[in-house]
């Protein structure tokens, strides 16, 4: 995609510190890191959402995530792994990317529940409805 920053990184138009490359994926340093060692892992082909990718590309992406996680985790001993899968999920660059962010005690980012308001308790019938809707 011509307008996509990450496609420009893949084509070499935007100079980037590329850390590793596989057949379908690359990893590189985030230009505006949330912590020292913030890494992004992306597919070479442009897809907005994980479910748009084919199985081989998806497996290749998560294999590289697995390899990079050991490296990133060695920075502080704990890693936040995050995917904003679509614009309304907070995705700013519309090209699939996995964030690997070193975490540490007192970094003030907190647990995932801090991103949302208080969690609501669902009734048994609501849980049953969701179960029927989401099970594969
Ligand atoms: P999002 O907000 O879509 O989940 O994450 C996009 C990420 O891309 C952000 O962490 C941002 O810092 C990073 N980013 C944006 N532009 C560039 C760029 O030109 N180069 C690199 N290396 N990272 C970028
Ligand atoms: Zn792209």
**pLDDT, tens digit, 9 for 90 and up, residues 54-71:** 999 999 999 999 999 999
Per-residue pLDDT 10s for the chain (136 aa) are 789 999 999 999 999 999 999 999 999 999 999 999 999 999 999 999 999 999 999 999 999 999 999 999 999 999 999 999 999 999 999 999 999 999 999 999 999 999 998 888 999 999 999 999 999 9
Backbone angles phi, psi at 99, to 5 degrees: -85, 135
Do β-strands 39-43 and 79-82 pair in parallel, antiparallel, or remain unpaired?
unpaired
Here the tokens at position 19 are 């850390």
What separation in Å is there between the alpha carbon of 25 and the centre of ligand 1? 16
Q: Kindly report the CATH number that applies to the domain delimited by 5-134.
A: 3.30.428.10
Residue 81 and residue 63: Cα distance in Å, rounded?
A: 14
- With 0-12 / 13-18 / 19 or more C-beta atoms within 10 angstroms meaning exposed / middle / buried, residue 61 is buried
Cβ of residue 14 lying under 6 Å from some atom of ligand 1:
yes
Active site residue 38: no
Q: Which of 84, 97, 99, 113 is catalytic?
A: 97
Cα dihedral across residues 62, 67, 96, 57: positive or negative: negative
Cβ of residue 16 lying under 6 Å from some atom of ligand 1:
yes
Cβ of residue 92 lying under 6 Å from some atom of ligand 1:
yes
Q: Are 97 and 5 in contact (CB under 8 A)?
A: no
Chain-centre distance of CA 5, in angstroms? 16
């Amino acid at each position: 995609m011509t307008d996509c920053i990450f496609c420009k990184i893949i084509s070499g138009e935007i100079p980037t510190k590329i850390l590793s490359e596989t057949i379908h994926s690359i990893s590189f340093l985030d230009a505006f890191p949330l912590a020292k060692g913030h890494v992004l892992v992306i597919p070479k082909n442009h897809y907005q959402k994980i479910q748009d990718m084919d199985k081989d590309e998806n497996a290749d992406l998560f294999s590289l995530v697995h390899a990079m996680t050991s490296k990133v985790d060695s920075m502080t001993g704990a890693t936040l792994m995050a995917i904003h899968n679509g614009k309304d999920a907070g995705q700013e660059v519309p090209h699939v990317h996995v964030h690997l962010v070193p975490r540490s005690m007192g970094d003030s980012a907190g647990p995932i529940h801090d991103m949302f308001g208080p969690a609501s308790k669902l009734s048994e019938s609501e849980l049953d409805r969701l179960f029927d809707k989401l099970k594969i």
